């Protein structure tokens, strides 16, 4: 049974390392990649930035409507 988007969000929250681990697990299931350690560092940075951008956007939305 597949998880819903809400279940995934509840399980992983805003932890970039958890998102990266899940991404790397799925990526590995679909074939090898060149350097998993290097790629992990790149992806954790990508997920951290995406999560923080989402948080900032949420804060901005609240202040625009106040």
Whether the CA torsion 56, 59, 65, 66 is positive or negative: it is: negative
Question: Is residue 55 one of the residues assigned to a domain?
Answer: yes
- Quick one: pLDDT at residue 4? 93
Question: Is residue 40 one of the residues assigned to a domain?
Answer: yes
Question: Is residue 51 one of the residues assigned to a domain?
Answer: yes
- Quick one: pLDDT at residue 62? 64
Domain that holds residue 43: 16-65
Question: Is residue 44 one of the residues assigned to a domain?
Answer: yes
Cβ 43 vs Cβ 20: under 8 Å: yes
pLDDT digits (tens, 9 = 90+) for 18-56: 999 998 888 888 877 667 777 888 999 999 999 999 888
Indicate the number of domains in the chain: 1
Question: Is residue 31 one of the residues assigned to a domain?
Answer: yes
Question: Is residue 6 one of the residues assigned to a domain?
Answer: no
- Quick one: pLDDT at residue 11? 93
- Quick one: pLDDT at residue 49? 96
Question: Is residue 10 one of the residues assigned to a domain?
Answer: no
- Quick one: pLDDT at residue 21? 93
């Amino acid at each position: 049974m597949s998880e819903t988007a809400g279940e995934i969000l509840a399980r992983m929250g805003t932890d970039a390392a958890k998102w990266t681990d899940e991404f790397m697990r799925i990526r590995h299931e679909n074939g090898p990649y060149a350097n998993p350690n290097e790629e992990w560092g790149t992806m954790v940075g990508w997920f951290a930035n995406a999560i923080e951008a989402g948080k900032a956007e949420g804060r901005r939305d609240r202040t625009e409507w106040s």
